[in-house]
Amino acid sequence: MKFQFAVGIALAAVAVTAVTGCSTSSPAAAAGTPNGSTTKIPVVAAENFWGSIAGQLGGDHTSVTSVITNPDTDPHAYEPTPADGRTMAGAQYAIVNGVGYDPWAPKLLAANANPARTVLTVGDLVGVSGGGNPHRWYSPDDVRKVIDQITADYQRIDPADSAYFAQQKANFETQGLAEYTRLITDIKTKYAGTPIGASESIVTPLAEGLGLTMLTPETFLDAISEGSDPTAADKATIDTQIKNKQLKIYVYNSQNSTPDVQAQVNAAKAAGIPVATVTETLVPSNATFQEWQAKQLQGIEQALAQATGK
């Protein structure tokens, strides 16, 4: 999919580059006194699923802003505003997804160069390059890597509060993510190898993390994710899988329900195949990452239980 980036927006963002010279943009200022920081690290996340994690790991020592927060917004096709440029200009720490998912984000950062800024590109961190599956927040293993990296970056930016960030990480992993972790373990233990179908590639990292077997052709999954037309052959394959009940459950992204996808959802329901839903971004927008993910995992677990009797 081709993305457009308004030149006027980029120029507006450049105009506010000087803002980054404030005291909170330097590691020394963020570190504050030996007894702890006196200022908060200004953090900007391109998407709110990463922003939610960053905020919980940073606690009182960070101020986190997410650019994309509206569940109706398509992150792939988002066109940033001048306000987004100003937000990025003030970031000492920025988190972008990468892998072609949010190409507007690195452009904003480049338009507001700041040598004191640390940038985490998730795709680079987890080793997924352009053309790979960008939906890394649906990979439990990659989420853990991001948690580790954000904590390490906070500790480097604000070494005086290193112990605080370590405790935030421990609390988040043992308490905040407890239900998320339990559901992943339970599903993998009970249903590993269960064949499933899906509407798009957003489900693939999650299926891998849960040990489920994806039967939907990858070319179909990619086509829906990228907004292109799936082939007739792929649609015929899925129709056959549904008709013959080769799929135990069908999982679809309710924020990207094309006519082809809706036809498959209807066919699956008519065939008695349980259907579960996921979304691209936080729903509701004020939910935490773990609340959002746990609710979706519960839906998948219930669908699997209904389909298998386990």
pLDDT tens string for the chain (310 positions)? 333 333 333 333 333 333 332 222 333 333 333 345 568 999 999 999 999 999 999 999 999 999 999 888 888 789 999 999 999 999 999 999 999 999 999 999 999 899 999 999 999 999 999 889 999 999 999 999 999 999 999 999 999 999 999 999 999 999 999 999 999 999 999 999 999 999 999 999 999 999 999 999 999 999 999 999 999 999 999 999 999 999 999 999 999 989 999 999 999 999 999 999 999 999 999 999 999 999 999 999 999 999 999 9
Q: Are 88 and 109 in contact (CB under 8 A)?
A: yes
Q: Which stretches within the chain are classed as H helix?
A: 7-15, 27-31, 48-58, 82-89, 104-111, 122-126, 140-157, 162-171, 178-191, 204-210, 218-226, 232-243, 259-270, 289-308
The span from the first CA to the last CA of the chain, in angstroms, equals 41
71 lies in some domain: yes
* Structural domain ending residue among the three candidates 176, 198, 223: 176
Is residue 139 domain-shared with residue 74, that is, in the same domain?
yes
Query: What residues are paired with 45 via a beta bridge?
Result: 66, 95
User: Radius of gyration of the chain from Cα atoms?
Assistant: 21
Cα(280)–Cα(301) distance, rounded to whole angstroms?
19
Is residue 90 domain-shared with residue 208, that is, in the same domain?
no
Is residue 172 domain-shared with residue 207, that is, in the same domain?
no
Cα(137)–Cα(172) distance, rounded to whole angstroms?
16
DSSP 33: B
Is residue 24 domain-shared with residue 135, that is, in the same domain?
yes
Cα(137)–Cα(144) distance, rounded to whole angstroms?
10
1 lies in some domain: no
Peptide bond preceding 284 in cis form (omega within 30 of 0): yes
Is residue 198 domain-shared with residue 149, that is, in the same domain?
no
Q: Cα dist. 310→86, 193, 248 in Å?
A: 52, 14, 12
Q: Which domain holds residue 240?
A: 180-308
298 lies in some domain: yes
Is residue 297 domain-shared with residue 276, that is, in the same domain?
yes
Please count the CA atoms within 13 angstroms of the CA of 141 that sit on its side-chain side.
11
**Whose CA is closest to 256, among 79, 73, 123?**
73
2 lies in some domain: no
Number of domains making up the chain: 2
* Structural domain ending residue among the three candidates 131, 146, 176: 176
Give pLDDT, residue 132: 96
The CATH number covering residue 107 comes to 3.40.50.1980
DSSP 132: S
Is residue 304 domain-shared with residue 191, that is, in the same domain?
yes
Is residue 34 domain-shared with residue 134, that is, in the same domain?
yes
Give pLDDT, residue 38: 62
Is residue 169 domain-shared with residue 191, that is, in the same domain?
no
* This prediction's pTM: 0.88
Is residue 23 domain-shared with residue 98, that is, in the same domain?
yes
* Structural domain ending residue among the three candidates 176, 191, 208: 176
Is residue 101 domain-shared with residue 60, that is, in the same domain?
yes
Give pLDDT, residue 268: 98
Is residue 210 domain-shared with residue 300, that is, in the same domain?
yes
The two structure tokens encoding residue 55: 């905020």
Query: What residues are paired with 198 via a beta bridge?
Result: 251
CB contact set of 233 (below 8 Å; sequence gap of 6+): none
